[in-house]
Amino acid sequence: MDLPEYIDGYGRVVPHEGICLQQESTVQQRLVGTTRERHHKLLKTIGDAFDACAIHDGATLSFHHHLRNGDQVLNMVLAVAAERGLRDLTVAASSLFPVHAPLVDHIRSGVVRRILTAYMSGPVADAVSRGEMEVPVVMQTHGGRARAIESGELRIDVAFIAAPTCDDFGNLNGVEGRAACGPLGYAMVDAQHACMVVAVTDRLVAYPACPIDIAQDNVDFVVPVASIGDPSGILSGTTKPTTDPVGLGIATAAAEVIEASGLLGNDFSFQTGAGGVSLAVAAQLSAVMTRLGVRGNFASGGVTGQLCDMLEAGLFRSIFDVQCFDLRAVDSYRRDSRHMAMSASLYANPHQRGAVVDRLSTMILGAAEVDTNFNVNVTTGAPGNILGGSGGHADTAAGAKLSIVTTKLLAGGIPKIVERVGCITTPGSTIDVVVTDAGVAVHPTREDLALRLKKFGIDVRPMQELLELAEQRKTAGVQRPREPQQRIVAVVEYRDGTVIDVVRAVP
C-alpha cells in the first residue's frame, strides 16, 4: 500500500503491518456527575438536552445503528444542532444508512466537520466519495470503534441512545416498543464511556424498565419524542436465504468446506451475516450439523431468525447477540435466556481481555471484491465509491479459526476476483478460504486445510486460476481510478487503529 505518512485532518498515519496488535491499552477516565444533582433526568426536548449537556461547537456526538435504515434519532439531533447554529461537530456513528441523507446538508453547511463510522451507504457515502468533506472520514471496524472509545482515543462528549423503551431514570431496553430492535450492543460501549449520555425514547415506561440493557448509572438525561424510528426501516420481518441457484451452489460448497475442515465438533461456533448467500450457508450447515449430530457452543453476530432456529433446534447451546437483523431474532432475545446480549467491546474489541470473535470457529463473510492476496474489499464499489465498510468484517476474520469468504466470480458481468482490490477492508492474512461458483481457493499458509478439503472431494483451485476464469468470463469492465492525485476522502483503520488503506475521491 502507498500510504502517506500524514493525512490532513486525520494526522500521523500508523500503517497496518500484519495482525500483531498493541500489547496494552488503558480504559479512559470519565467524569460523572453526582446523583443529587441529577435526580430529575427527564427533559422535554432534544434542545433541552443540548443545554443540559452544554453541547458546543466542535463537540463529538455519538450514535448507534440498531434502528438501521429506520433511525430518526441522528437526524433529529443534528437538526437541533443546525437550528442552534452549532459548527464543526464530530459525528461518531456506528453505521450510517440512506435514511441519514440530511447529514449531507449538515456537512455542506459546516455543522458537521468530521465523521467516524464502521459502515456507510446511501447519500452520505456518495457525498463523501465525491469529496464533499474537508476532513477525511475515519472508517473503523465495530471492534476498533469499541477499542477507540474505551481507550479514550475517541472521546465522546455526548452519546445519544435511541431507546425503544426507557424509564424516567434512564434504564432502557431495545426489546419492547414500537421501535423494538433487540439488544443494544453498540450503544452499550458509548453509554459506558461517553462523558454524557442522553436516551431518546418513544416509549416512556414506569420505573424501572424491565428488562434493562443499559442501566440508569450510565444515563444522564431522558428525552421522550413522538417517534425514534420507522419500524419498516429498522428490521425485516424475517431475513431469508437466497433462492438463486448460483448462490445456493456457493452456499452448499461453503457448508462442505466447514464439514471438511474438521471444526464441526461440540465446541463449534459460527457467525454469518444477513445476506441471502450467508443465510443459505446457515441453512446448509443446519442440515450438516443435524446429520452429524453436532451441538455447537454458540452462534454470534448480528443475529437472524435463522440462527435462532438453529438454537431452538439444539444445534447451538447459546447465542451472543450485538444486534438483531430481523423481528424473529428480537422475539428470541426477548423470550430465551440462552440468547444473550453482548456489547461491541465483548464482541470484537481487540484490546480487551478477550472478545467473542476470538472464540469463533467459523465466520462466513461477504465481499465486494477479493484479490489474489485474499485481501477483501467491502468498503468501495468497483468505481471506487464508498458503499459500505467493515462493520465486523475485519474483526471476525481476525478472530475465527476458519474465515470463509463467499462470492460469485462476477457480478453484473464485472469480475469480483481481482488482481488487487480497490480498497483493503480485511487483510488477506486473516482469510482462510474463498468460495466461489467456480471453485474454492485456500490461503497459501493453510496447506493443512487445502489438503483436508481436497480429501473431502472439494474443488480447490489456486486463486490465480479463479482470477483468470473471472477475466475470461467478464462481459463488462471498469475503469479503476485509484489515482494517487485524487484527494483522500476516507482513512480505513484496521481494528487496532493502524491505517490499512485510504479511499480517494471518485474523479
Neighbours of 483 (CB within 10 A): 10
How many residues touch its own copies under the rule CB under 8 A: the total is 60
From the list 22-30, 92-100, 117-125, 479-487, the region that binds its own copies by CB under 8 A is: 22-30
Distance CA 14, CA 17 (A): 9
293 binds its own copies (CB under 8 A): no
427 CA to centre of own chain: 16
Contacts (CB under 8 A) with its own copies, residues 449-478: none
Query: CB neighbours of 51 closer than 8 A, spacing ≥ 6?
Result: none
From the list 28-36, 257-265, 283-291, 461-469, the region that binds its own copies by CB under 8 A is: 28-36
CB of 1 to its own copies, least distance (A): 23
Distance CA 218, CA 158 (A): 12
271 binds its own copies (CB under 8 A): no
CB of 398 to its own copies, least distance (A): 10
34 binds its own copies (CB under 8 A): yes
From the list 10-18, 32-40, 233-241, 281-289, the region that binds its own copies by CB under 8 A is: 32-40
Contacts (CB under 8 A) with its own copies, residues 169-198: 169-170, 197
- Amino acid making up residue 212: I
| Residue 360: all three cell numbers together | 469463533
CB of 73 to its own copies, least distance (A): 20
CB of 61 to its own copies, least distance (A): 18
CB of 172 to its own copies, least distance (A): 13
226 binds its own copies (CB under 8 A): no
Q: Is 131 within 8 Å of 2 (Cβ atoms)?
A: no
3-state secondary structure of 89: strand
Instruction: Give the contact letters, 313-342, x = binds to its own copies (CB under 8 A), - = no.
Output: ----xx-x----------------xx-x-x
CB of 269 to its own copies, least distance (A): 8
CB of 310 to its own copies, least distance (A): 15
Which of 6, 11, 12, 39 is close enough to bind its own copies by CB under 8 A?
A: 39
Distance CA 13, CA 493 (A): 10
396 binds its own copies (CB under 8 A): no
Dihedral in degrees, nearest 10, Cα atoms 392, 394, 395, 397: 110
Q: Is 120 within 8 Å of 91 (Cβ atoms)?
A: no
Q: Cell 445456493 belongs to which residue?
A: 248
| Residue 259: all three cell numbers together | 464439514
- Angstrom distances, CA of residue 180 to CA of 226, 235, 337: 15, 9, 18
CB of 13 to its own copies, least distance (A): 22
| Residue 502: all three cell numbers together | 485510504
130 binds its own copies (CB under 8 A): no
Which of 6, 11, 12, 36 is close enough to bind its own copies by CB under 8 A?
A: 36
| Residue 98: all three cell numbers together | 440512506
Neighbours of 34 (CB within 10 A): 6
Of the pair 105, 336, the CB lying nearest its own copies is at 336
- Amino acid making up residue 125: A
Dihedral in degrees, nearest 10, Cα atoms 452, 454, 458, 459: 140
Distance CA 370, CA 426 (A): 10
Query: CB neighbours of 419 closer than 8 A, spacing ≥ 6?
Result: 371, 372, 467
201 binds its own copies (CB under 8 A): no
216 binds its own copies (CB under 8 A): yes
83 binds its own copies (CB under 8 A): no
75 binds its own copies (CB under 8 A): no
Which of 95, 117, 140, 349 is close enough to bind its own copies by CB under 8 A?
A: 349
What are the residues facing 223 on neighbouring strands?
A: 200
Q: Which stretches of the chain bind its own copies, using CB under 8 A?
A: 20-39, 41, 169-170, 197, 206-208, 210-212, 215-220, 266-267, 297-298, 317-318, 320, 337-338, 340, 342-343, 345-346, 349-356, 358-359
